[in-house]
Amino acid sequence: MTPDTPTDLDVVLSSRARLARNVAGIPFVHRTTDDQRRLVMTRVTHALDAAATDVEPLDWIDLESTSSLDRRVLYERHLISRPHADATGPRGVAVASDAAMSVMVNEEDHVRMHAIAPGLSIHDCFARVRRLDEAMEPHVGWAWHHQWGYQSACPTNVGTGVRFSTMLHLPALRLTRELDKVRQAAKDLHLAVRGYYGEGSESSGSFFQVSNQITLGNSEDELLDVFLTSIMPGIINYERAARQALLKRDRTTIADRVLRDLAVLRNAQLVKADEAMRRLSMIRLGICIDLISDVKLQTVNTLFHEIQAGHLQQTAGTSLTQDESRAARATLLRQRLGTS
Amino acid sequence: MKCDQCNRPAVVHQVIISNGTHREIHLCEIHAAEAGVPNPGKQPINKLMAKVSQPVQTAVMPTCPTCDTTLTHIRKSSLFGCPDCYDAFAQATRLIIESVQGGADQHVGRNPQNIATDNTSRYESKRLVEELDRAVRAEQYERAAKIKAKLAMLAEQRPLEDKSDDS
């Protein structure tokens, strides 16, 4: 395994590696009492503190005493899941200073740690969570079975407990109506395809999260190699070919589409979140195929977080009505994208 | 939950509904055998589930002795109740896991650090060598030194493990 620098940023928005772990001797979260959940939090935070001498320290956030707005912002940043944000009872999350790694406590499993990074960079993500897992383990004791490996509430996570995923931007495959082929290929290879916010979310702005479904029977490194070599190059090259085909077939039409979307967002006064995601997706495509040169890719990538309702309210410092939220989103987009 | 007739853990739980009255029986494996009551944990899952679904007045509900989760609940929610459920419903666990894990029935990969099997240490050595390479490339020499120390410890343990395997 070699360290990776982020690559394929034109198609891969981000990479993610996740480990599911449970504390030995305590029922899984959905069967625990509040006292048992507090015990889990005590054991895990102790392990995190002890691990901080070997790995980076993380900031602890007690979600039970955190406002719904702050929980929503954490969710929009992919640091916690929607169920974790909306749940009640003792639970929390530990977050790295760069907001690129977090440890959810008392979500579906006692512990779910994940790291995220731009582009195709799963090796680095996995190395980061593995270091944390190894540093925590002597201080907490994970539930482990001689046959089934690391035990999880859900049988789909048993064994290694590892889940690799990439957030792919596939606007050309969507425009050419070839996404079904990708879905079928992924299904055949035991890979799951989900939306922008993971399980249960619709694909928004042509973003698709692809992840391994099998966690048992192969080592972590073997699972990662299979994930990276079996389908990732194929999907990335398929999307690139679709982009070139669009340009070759009708450059004017695709240029009109992406520049029109840019013009709308540079001038609109009220913008819904869905509309913003859809138009930003096309602008991102325009940047990647050199039809737009005065907007940076990183600007658009950041906007996908910043235009969400929670982020807008946090920036405003007050709750916003629907119209106020749409106006604030439009203002932000005009500022970031520059007026024409 | 304890057996109605002794202090051993109950493994058979029956709910008997007769003439509108409801009665529960909890028996350990020995007393269940003496009473002629079959232990559902030792039956194939299809027979067990068939029995659960039969419209009879006596329902057998196997439960995990640690967390009281029933097999029916696991099948409905697709979630185990606690780590002990894996062995409490051993046959069902195998069927459930194999069905969602592409037929795999044995963990391969990293093990907890306190469970030092030969395979574990070989895997660990390979991984540590890779990590050492990354640390040196990144010029993280303190980390590299720690990894080297771990590798040395593993190398010392290996002959002992090999010897114990031969005995």
Contact A159 B107 (CB under 8 A): yes
CA distance B42 to chain A (A): 19
pLDDT of residue B6: 79
In whole angstroms, give the CA distance from residue A204 to residue A195.
6
CB pairs under 8 A between A and B: 119
Residue A320 in this model has a pLDDT that exceeds 90: yes
Closest CA to A242 of A169, A296, A156: A169
> CB-CB: which of B83, B102, B131 is closest to A22?
B83
CA distance B35 to chain A (A): 32
- CA of A108: which chain B residue's CA is closest? B79
Q: How do residues A232-247 score in pLDDT, each as one tens digit?
A: 898 999 999 999 999 9
Residue A3 in this model has a pLDDT that exceeds 60: no
Phi, psi dihedrals of residue A180, rounded to the nearest 5°: -60, -35
Q: Measured between alpha carbons, how far is residue A10 from residues A186, A246, A247 in Å? A: 20, 16, 16
- CA of B103: which chain A residue's CA is closest? A217
- When comparing pLDDT for A255 and B166, which is higher? A255
pLDDT of residue A31: 95
- Which amino acid is residue A179, in one-letter code? L
Is ipTM beyond 0.90?
no
Contact B110 A145 (CB under 8 A): no
Residue B67 with chain A: CB contacts under 8 Å: 27, 31
Q: Which of A112-126, A288-302, B123-137 has the lowest mean pLDDT?
A: B123-137
- Which amino acid is residue A214, in one-letter code? I
Closest CA to A206 of A248, A244, A234, A178: A178
Residue A333 in this model has a pLDDT that exceeds 70: yes
Q: How do residues A42-66 score in pLDDT, each as one tens digit?
A: 999 999 999 988 888 899 999 999 9
- pTM here is 0.75
Q: Which of A63-67, A153-157, B123-127, B135-139 has the lowest mean pLDDT?
A: B123-127
Q: B15 pLDDT band (50/70/90 cuts)? A: low
Give the angle subtended at the CA of A297 by the CAs of A295 and A300, to the nearest 5°.
80
pLDDT of residue A187: 83
Closest CA to A171 of A149, A204, A139: A204
In whole angstroms, give the CA distance from residue A59 to residue A70.
15
Q: To probe the interface with B, which of A22, A29, A31, A128 has the most B CB atoms within 10 Å?
A: A31
DSSP assignment letter at A162: E
CA distance B78 to chain A (A): 6
Q: Which two tokens stand for residue B53?
A: 């679904």
Q: Which of A42-56, A179-193, B60-74 has the lowest mean pLDDT?
A: A179-193
Query: How far from chain centre, in Å, is Cα A137?
Result: 25
CA distance A57 to chain B (A): 16
Asked if the C-beta of B139 comes within 8 angstroms of chain A's C-beta atoms, the answer is no
Q: Give me the residue label for tokens 């979140």.
A: A273
Q: Mean pLDDT across chain A, nearest whole number?
A: 92
In whole angstroms, give the CA distance from residue A158 to residue A145.
10
In whole angstroms, give the CA distance from residue B57 to residue B64.
22
Any idea where the domains of chain A sit in the sequence? 12-237, 240-337
> CB-CB: which of A1, A31, A150 is closest to B67?
A31
Residue B67 in this model has a pLDDT that exceeds 80: yes
Cα Rg of chain A (Å, integer):
21
Q: Looking at domain A12-237, what is its CATH homologous superfamily?
A: Glutamine synthetase/guanido kinase, catalytic domain (3.30.590.10)
For residue A231, what are the contacts with CB-CB under 8 A and spacing of at least 6?
A185, A186, A189, A191, A210
Torsion A235-A240-A245-A251 (CA) sign: positive
Give the angle subtended at the CA of A19 by the CAs of A168 and A215, to the nearest 5°.
80
The answer to whether A193 touches A250, Cβ cutoff 8 Å, is no
pLDDT of residue A311: 94
SS3 A321: coil
Closest CA to A258 of A225, A227, A288: A288
Residue B52 in this model has a pLDDT that exceeds 50: no
Q: B51 pLDDT band (50/70/90 cuts)? A: very low
Q: A195 pLDDT band (50/70/90 cuts)? A: confident
In whole angstroms, give the CA distance from residue A265 to residue A334.
6
Q: What is the mean pLDDT of residues B138-149?
A: 84
Q: B38 pLDDT band (50/70/90 cuts)? A: low
Q: B27 pLDDT band (50/70/90 cuts)? A: confident
Q: To probe the interface with A, which of B87, B110, B132 has the most A CB atoms within 10 Å?
A: B110
pLDDT of residue B35: 62
Q: Measured between alpha carbons, how far is residue B97 from residues A155, A159, A340, B107 in Å? A: 5, 10, 57, 11
pLDDT of residue A288: 96
